[in-house]
Structure 1
């Protein structure tokens, strides 16, 4: 059985990994004023965005995912020919309509694929499963990496589906924004009142950085730490502790809103890298996607792994 994998632009995995393992992309369009950019998970394009005046106005961005029709067209015209079963893994549906659009499109896809496959000389059935990762950004990388491992090991679609749906429940995502005023402005544009003017102003004055945690689609602060570098160090230490305690998959995903060398220079990074190596955990590092960047802001850091035990964070 030919198994295909699809993620959306917000999934912060290295573009080289996506290409090497034939992971297809549902791109997101980002509009800032008159500028329109399509997020194809191109790190060079994202870094160029950071070097322009548009980055300062990123909080104004309007993000537009593939419509139901666009998802349907992609699958019917290409993926339903190239594969027999496709897993489409999306950002949490609590933060984006991508899951709902893909899920709605799946009904049309399963009604429309037969003539296309028959014309390509394939009379076997086609199946599609849309999976809500229940997480975002770096943490979205956990499911596709595991899907690649299982596919390469020759596992069938039912086992892969059950494994991915279980992992989604236990994927832990963490975010640390560098600029609270940016986050506040962004949440206001999105109609989210989770960061108030008072908390953003006080946090900026006192240099307090929140550590945000996402699991099962719910996002909220689990720590408030003085200084971005100290907060990043505490996050890396927390990730290392979870690695030593045992993860559900041998995968740790990190992403950063800028040059990766900046992230690697943060305190605690080298120790986390060494801990992953010692415990045979593969460490993925990616420049944040444009989609992630406009939501977190320049210089933010994100991490993701799969482990039981919830969001307890020792600061």
Structure 2
């Protein structure tokens, strides 16, 4: 095995890749009040969302330790690519960088590249699967890194939240604004910035209008759509994901469409009914 892809658990992987020895997921920790779990293969989305809904405190995540990353690098792979949650949302990137330094102090024979996705969820998936694809094509480590960085620079991330409680609880949305948005069914349309921060780019009255405005932004901003995979991650709402797929693919051609359910960290950010899109 000449290469390995290491991701944190904010990255959703299609089932076939979870069993692929080229991939390893390093879990974050999740806590909602006194409820604490690891975001691993035992994550129960239904139970977690119930805890979030019933707890007045904001759910939180804890990034993997540098040692967790260091251990993930222990393999026969010569090339290791690490893709993490945005450094502006989590300490996962910094932890991976420390883990890399720790490993290379013991073994300098490997080439290890740690990439801040400047995104989350399926944005990490885009980069992880691209790295594997480029390695399978036989590209050099340096060329794979260059291609990944070029792709990241034009990748767009969008999301629409149906439930604003997590934003309210963590202070990103005032109680008054959250109440008004809830009462009027205003659904904010959010996008990731080039440096991995979050900004609001629009809003819709009702979830369908919000999803339509997000789909319109996808269509308006995508570059060379026919070469891209449209990835949609949903939190407990597959029908909405299918609806967004139709909204986008009715207007632009894409290479492929991948739809996934959120794992733990993405469920925490998106909350019940949220949709995340990258292309």
- Same fold by TM-score greater than 0.5: yes
Q: What's the CA shift string for 1:145-186, capped at 9, x where partnerless?
A: 21122112111111000111222222211111112233211x
Whether the aligned pair in 1 keeps the contact of 2:39 and 2:265 (CA below 8 Å) is yes
Given the alignment of the two structures, is residue 173 of structure 1 paired with residue 172 of structure 2, yes or no?
no
1:252 to partner: Cα distance: 1.2
What's 2:245 paired with?
269
Q: Aligned pair 1:126/2:110, yes or no? A: yes
Q: Distance in 2 between matches of 1:10 and 1:59?
A: 21
Q: State the Cα distance separating 1:141 from its structure 2 match.
A: 1.9
1:212 aligns with 2:190: yes
Q: Name the structure 1 match of 2:214.
A: 235
Give the equivalent residue in structure 1 for 2:17: 17
- Equivalence for 2:139: 155
Partner residue, 2:174: 196
- Give the distance between the partners of 1:181 and 1:146, measured in 2 at CA: 34
Aligned length: 278
Cα offset for 1:59? 5.7
Q: Matches of 2:226 and 2:255 in 1, distance apart?
A: 11
SS in structure 2 at match of 1:82: coil
**Which ranges of structure 2 fall in alignment gaps of 5 or more residues?**
none
Aligned mates of 2:125, 2:250 — CA distance in 1: 20
- 1:26 & 1:66 partners in 2: Cα distance? 7
DSSP-derived class of the 1:83 partner: coil
Contact 1:253 1:283 in 2 (8 A): yes
Q: What TM-score do the two structures reach when normalised by structure 1?
A: 0.79
Kindly indicate whether the alpha-carbon contact (under 8 Å) linking 1:71 and 1:102 is maintained by their aligned counterparts in 2. yes
Q: Indicate conservation of the 8 Å contact 1:250/1:281, yes or no.
A: yes
Shifted more, 92-101 versus 12-21: the winner is 12-21
TM normalised by structure 2 equals: 0.89
Correspondent of 2:59 among 58, 61, 66: 61
Structure exhibiting the larger radius of gyration computed from Cα positions: 1
Q: Which residue of 2 aligns with 1:184?
A: 168
1:260 alignment partner, one of 238, 244, 253: 238
RMSD: 2.5
Question: Which whole-Å CA distance do the structure 1 matches of 2:41 and 2:153 have between them?
Answer: 25
From 85, 89, 94, the equivalent of 1:95 is 89
Contact 1:237 1:272 in 2 (8 A): yes
Matched, 1:8 2:2: no
Q: Give the gaps of 5 or more residues in structure 1.
A: 115-124, 189-193, 306-315
* Change beyond 3 A, Cα 1:234–1:303: same
> Mean alpha-carbon deviation: is it higher for 9-18 or for 89-98?
9-18
CA–CA separation in structure 1 for the residues paired with 2:95 and 2:256: 32
Partner Cα separation in structure 1 for residue 200 and residue 272 of structure 2: 19
